[in-house]
């Protein structure tokens, strides 16, 4: 039954979306249904997909050849996703997206701490998983943010602190400031290029890397939201400066540690 | 060393009774003694006895004519002596026990007097109320040495004072008995208090103490508490497990839905699945106590704005009113969960949502107002109970655990949740939370 469904549901023009050389994605999930469905959906969008039930199967797939991305469920029999992620990171920088149950904040932080590149909360839909997969793969290709370079842990600017792994922004008062995913990416893009003007197109591209289609707000809206949270709104010399008609610039020295 | 108390209640009550009666008895004796208190010490009695022996020797050594004079010369400040050939003094020792006792004390001090005739009697003294001891000692030649000891007995106390002292004694005995009875029943009242404290899925430890009967009740009570909590826990765990397990089929359905070609059916299915997810989230958050998260300094304004912006990005008509910044000590994930529940709830019943944040003294206030049908005042209390389906107007949203979960979580954070008529014409949910954070320790 599932075969026919797959044939019927083949998206029109799926072939055209496939990149010249298909990315190889490994889906690690112990639930057969989820695993096969994810595999099928990703294949329909032109990726080369392998499925693994647990850590042992993942290791044998990894031994066989090149992998571009791992979708890794945290709740696995045997070694859990966190342990697997940690052991993979000891050898490889292959991008990893963790799949966690919704509301398990500790899992999310733990996953990011052991080096996962992104996470997605169960239950998720097709568009969410595709957006995240595309974003992570794009970042991998992005020459401005090479993945094999170590990701800086912490940025300090104008008494603010941004903990990139945990995605925590700490105000000068020591208070944690909550950011949306798009705001986090925007801030990270600005922090990576301090004192330099970034064009709006480029900034929007960088800021949408993770959220994909879930926000279609203009970059001006995103910047004004971030300014408001940085307490930047009414300042004469704001941290994020507008370069009229062109783009934005972070007017602060950034210390990376 | 600990005194071993009788085990049973009856034994302890008996102990209290015996103690009370014994105390009353002792008190009465003491009062009796006090009323007839002697003003002489043993030493003074010894001196009197010696003086009498001396006087006898002096009297016998002198001629009868000079005896009176000589003895009077021997008188001291409180003891006067005289000699008489015959005496009218009669002995009251036979009818007055205190005098008999005194005679024994005198003889004990001067054994030589034991064979002499010693008449003792009491006379009122010059001082008001006091009494003197008057006595006559028969000497060898048949005459007498008389003596008078001033004073001997204190004034008899005022009868009103005596009555008052008796009342005081009774009161003291009653107080002691009461204290003992209280100690006796304290294990019972402790038990009652422990029972009162047992609520909201929180067991209060019960001390197994006191008499056998109470210990038996406490043991039974603890066992019952255990059984109840275990049963409750089992049910909670079952509900949590079901909610968790539902997520996997929902996940599959979500992905399967994406394979449908019928756009309309796909959208409808996605909406249904999103609703199912929000019920599951609300159910799970109702049973989570949020204790695992540490309270820390956060910008709650940024948190609320993030939720509002995210909801607005997903197409909700939602607005934020409040400061750009408001620092509080709180559990951010817990607060997010509460507000997400409330926004989900509002979205289900209304079109327009407004979130307002403000500081109010030591508290901060978050309002979630909508323009939906609202909840009638008389049904608001019920709306905060889990799994209550309210009237048809608000029936659009399933089990209705969202408000209950939010209420429970807010209370665990030391705050309160109020349902009211919102300014948008629908329901207004007002959260009031302490800026200094949740109380440490238990919620």
Q: Please enumerate in sequence order all residues whose Cβ is within 8 A of that of A6, keeping only pairs 6 or more positions apart, or say none.
A: A40, A44, B259
Q: Across all residues in chain B, what is the average pLDDT?
A: 83
The count of C-alpha atoms lying within 13 angstroms of the C-alpha of B241, restricted to the half-sphere facing its C-beta, is: 6
- Where is B54: in which H helix or E strand? helix B42-61
- The SS3 of residue B382 is helix
- Whether B324 and A229 lie within 8 Å, measured CB to CB: yes
Shortest distance between the Cα of B270 and any Cα of chain A, in A, equals 8
Average pLDDT over residues B161-165: 90
What pLDDT score was predicted for residue A9?
40
CA-based nearest residue in chain B for residue A168:
B298
Band of residue A167 on the pLDDT scale cut at 50, 70, 90: confident
For B8, other C-beta atoms within 10 Å of its C-beta total 12
Partners of residue A122 on adjacent β-strands? A101
Res A5 pLDDT > 60 = no
Cα–Cα–Cα angle for B231, B232, B234, nearest 5°? 65
Percent share of chain B, pLDDT over 90: 21
The answer to whether A231 contacts B337, with C-beta atoms less than 8 Å apart, is no
Residues of A in contact with B250 (CB under 8 A): 123
Q: Could you tell me the two tokens for B259? A: 């394979």
Which chain A positions have a beta carbon within 8 Å of B281's beta carbon?
102-103
Is A163 in the B-facing interface, judged by CB distances under 8 Å?
no
Using the predicted structure, report yes or no on whether residue B401 has a pLDDT greater than 80: no
Identify the three-state secondary structure at position A171: coil
Q: In which band, very low, low, confident or very high, does the pLDDT at B4 lie, cut at 50, 70 and 90?
A: low
Collapsing DSSP to helix, strand or coil, B339 comes out as helix
Report pLDDT digits (tens) over A6-34.
333 444 444 444 455 789 999 999 999 99
Alpha-carbon gap, residue B99 to B101, rounded angstroms? 5
pLDDT at A3: 37
Asked if A34 and B247 come within 8 Å (Cβ–Cβ), the reply is no
The pLDDT of residue B393 is above 80: no
Residue A149: pLDDT band with limits 50, 70, 90: very low
Would the CB atoms of A175 and B306 count as touching at under 8 Å? no
Percent of residues, chain B, with pLDDT higher than 70: 90
Lowest mean per-residue pLDDT among A2-6, B59-63, B329-333? A2-6
User: Taking CB atoms and an 8 Å cutoff, what residues of chain B touch A125?
Assistant: 254-255, 257-258, 270
Q: Cis peptide leading into B232, omega within 30 of 0? A: no
Question: Chain B contacts of A215, Cβ < 8 Å?
Answer: 313
Q: Does this model's pTM top 0.90?
A: no
Distance CA B430, CA B443 (A): 20
Q: How far is A223 from chain B (nearest CA, A)?
A: 13
- The answer to whether the beta carbons of residues B367 and B337 sit under 8 Å apart is no
A173: which 2 tokens? 């008062």
**Per-residue confidence (pLDDT) for residue B253, from 0 to 100:** 92
**Is the predicted pLDDT of residue A214 greater than 60, yes or no?**
no
CB contact under 8 A, A176 and B297: yes
First to last CA, chain A: 54
Q: Write down the ipTM of this complex.
A: 0.70
The chain B residue lying nearest A36, using CA atoms, is B252
Q: How far apart are CA B260 and CA B245, in angstroms?
A: 24
Q: Do B281 and A175 touch (CB under 8 A)?
A: no
Q: What is the pLDDT of residue B398?
A: 47
Residues of B in contact with A217 (CB under 8 A): 313
The pLDDT confidence band at residue B245, using thresholds 50, 70 and 90, is confident
Tell me the pLDDT band of B158, cut-offs 50, 70 and 90: confident
- pLDDT for residue A105 is more than 90: no
Of B97 and B442, which is predicted with more confidence?
Answer: B97
Q: Pick the residue with more confidence: B157 or A26?
A: A26
Cβ–Cβ below 8 Å for B259 and A5:
yes
Query: Is A31 in contact with B251 (Cβ distance < 8 A)?
Result: yes
Partners of residue A231 in chain B, C-beta under 8 Å: 324-325
Name the band, by pLDDT with cuts 50, 70 and 90, for residue B440: low
């Amino acid at each position: 039954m599932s075969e026919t469904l797959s044939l019927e549901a083949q998206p029109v023009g799926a072939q055209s979306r496939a990149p010249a050389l298909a990315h190889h994605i490994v889906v690690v999930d112990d639930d057969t249904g989820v695993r096969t469905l994810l595999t099928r959906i990703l294949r329909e969008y032109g990726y080369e997909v392998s499925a693994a039930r647990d850590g042992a199967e993942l290791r044998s797939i990894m031994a066989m050849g090149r992998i571009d991305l791992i979708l890794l469920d945290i709740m696995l029999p045997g070694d859990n996703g966190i342990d697997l992620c940690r052991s993979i990171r000891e050898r490889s920088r292959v991008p990893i997206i963790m799949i966690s149950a919704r509301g398990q904040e500790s899992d999310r932080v733990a996953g990011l701490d052991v080096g996962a590149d992104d996470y997605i909360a169960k239950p998720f839909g097709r568009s969410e998983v595709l957006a995240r997969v595309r974003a992570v793969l794009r970042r991998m290709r992005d020459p401005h943010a090479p993945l094999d370079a170590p990701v800086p842990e912490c940025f300090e600017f104008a008494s603010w602190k941004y903990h990139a792994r945990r995605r925590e922004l700490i105000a000068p008062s020591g208070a944690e400031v909550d950011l949306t995913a798009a705001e986090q990416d925007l801030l990270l893009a600005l922090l990576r290029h301090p004192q330099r003007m970034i064009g709006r197109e480029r900034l929007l591209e960088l800021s949408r890397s993770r959220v994909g289609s879930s926000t279609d707000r203009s970059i001006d809206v995103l910047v004004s939201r971030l300014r408001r949270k940085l307490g930047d709104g009414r300042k004469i010399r704001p941290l994020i400066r507008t370069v009229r008609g062109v783009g934005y610039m972070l007017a602060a020295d950034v210390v990376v540690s | 060393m600990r005194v071993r108390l009788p085990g049973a209640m009856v034994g302890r009550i008996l102990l209290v009774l015996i103690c009370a009666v014994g105390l009353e008895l002792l008190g009465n004796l003491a009062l009796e003694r006090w009323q007839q208190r002697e003003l002489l010490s043993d030493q003074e009695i010894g001196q009197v006895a010696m003086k009498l022996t001396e006087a006898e020797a002096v009297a016998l050594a002198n001629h009868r004519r000079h005896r009176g004079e000589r003895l009077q010369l021997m008188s001291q400040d409180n003891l006067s002596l005289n000699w008489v050939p015959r005496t009218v003094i009669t002995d009251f020792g036979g009818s007055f026990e205190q005098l008999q006792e005194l005679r024994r004390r005198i003889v004990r001090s001067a054994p030589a007097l034991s064979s002499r005739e010693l008449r003792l009697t009491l006379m009122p003294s010059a001082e008001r109320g006091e009494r003197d001891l008057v006595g006559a000692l028969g000497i060898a030649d048949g005459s007498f040495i008389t003596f008078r000891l001033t004073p001997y007995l204190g004034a008899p106390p005022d009868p009103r004072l005596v009555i008052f002292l008796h009342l005081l004694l009774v009161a003291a005995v009653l107080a002691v008995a009461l204290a003992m009875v209280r100690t006796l029943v304290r294990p019972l009242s402790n038990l009652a208090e422990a029972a009162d404290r047992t609520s909201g899925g929180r067991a209060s430890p019960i001390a197994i103490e006191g008499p056998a009967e109470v210990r038996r009740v406490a043991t039974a009570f603890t066992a019952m508490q255990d059984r109840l909590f275990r049963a409750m826990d089992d049910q909670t765990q079952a509900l949590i497990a079901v909610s968790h397990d539902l997520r996997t089929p929902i996940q599959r359905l979500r992905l399967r839905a994406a394979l449908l070609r019928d756009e309309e059916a796909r959208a409808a299915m996605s909406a249904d699945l999103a609703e199912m997810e929000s019920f599951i989230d609300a159910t799970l958050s109702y049973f989570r106590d949020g204790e695992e998260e540490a309270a820390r300094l956060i910008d709650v304004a940024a948190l609320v704005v993030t939720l509002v912006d995210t909801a607005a990005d997903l197409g909700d008509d939602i607005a934020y009113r409040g400061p750009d910044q408001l620092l509080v000590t709180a559990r951010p994930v817990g607060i997010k969960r509460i507000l997400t529940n409330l926004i989900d709830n509002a979205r289900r019943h209304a079109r327009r949502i407004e979130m307002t944040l403000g500081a109010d003294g030591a508290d901060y206030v978050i309002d979630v107002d909508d323009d939906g049908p609202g909840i009638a005042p008389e049904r608001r209390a019920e709306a905060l109970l889990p799994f209550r389906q309210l009237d048809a107007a608000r029936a659009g949203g399933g089990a209705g655990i969202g408000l209950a979960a939010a209420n429970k979580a807010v209370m665990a954070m030391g705050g309160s949740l109020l349902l009211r008529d919102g300014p948008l014409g629908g329901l207004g949910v007002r959260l009031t939370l302490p800026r200094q954070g949740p109380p440490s320790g238990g919620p």
